[in-house]
Amino acid sequence: MSTFSMFEIGKSALIASRKSMDVTSHNIANAATPGYSRQDAFLEPIIQRQSQMISGVGVRVSDVRRTRDVFVDAVLRNEIGREAAYLVQQEVLDHIQPAVAEPGANSIRGVL
């Protein structure tokens, strides 16, 4: 392995590390943003094949993916739906309450 190829390995490591730090800083900057989900940088080796030899020549960021919990997302969607149903129910009951309010001349007891 030549000195130049060792520098290339080091260069690829620094570039991959920098991209990973960019993802981390993006996560920190958006931690308080509603609806933001954390991202992860995935690293993979750069492989070089020469005849029958396989050697690593560095590393790179293969992918940046959102990290979400499917279970938490499902519970959140379910609870948002339940909240909406309760808000509609409250609105309907708020319209009915003046008619059945106790006591008063316009209440059911007052009419009976």
pLDDT at 14: 95
Domain boundary assignment for the chain: 3-67, 72-111
Token pair for residue 65? Answer: 């993916």
pLDDT at 111: 64
The rounded distance, in Å, linking the Cα atoms of 95 and 87 is 13
Going by C-alpha positions, the residue among 26, 24, 21, 20 that lies closest to residue 44 is 20
Q: pLDDT tens digits for 58-111?
A: 999 999 999 888 898 899 899 999 999 999 999 998 888 777 666 666 666 666
- Higher-confidence residue: 50 or 24? 24
Residue 107 belongs to what H/E stretch? Answer: none
Tell me the three state secondary structure of residue 66.
Answer: strand
- Pairing outcome for strands 39-50 and 53-66: antiparallel
Q: pLDDT tens digits for 31-62?
A: 999 888 899 999 999 888 777 777 778 999 99
The rounded distance, in Å, linking the Cα atoms of 112 and 107 is 9
Global confidence as pTM:
0.58
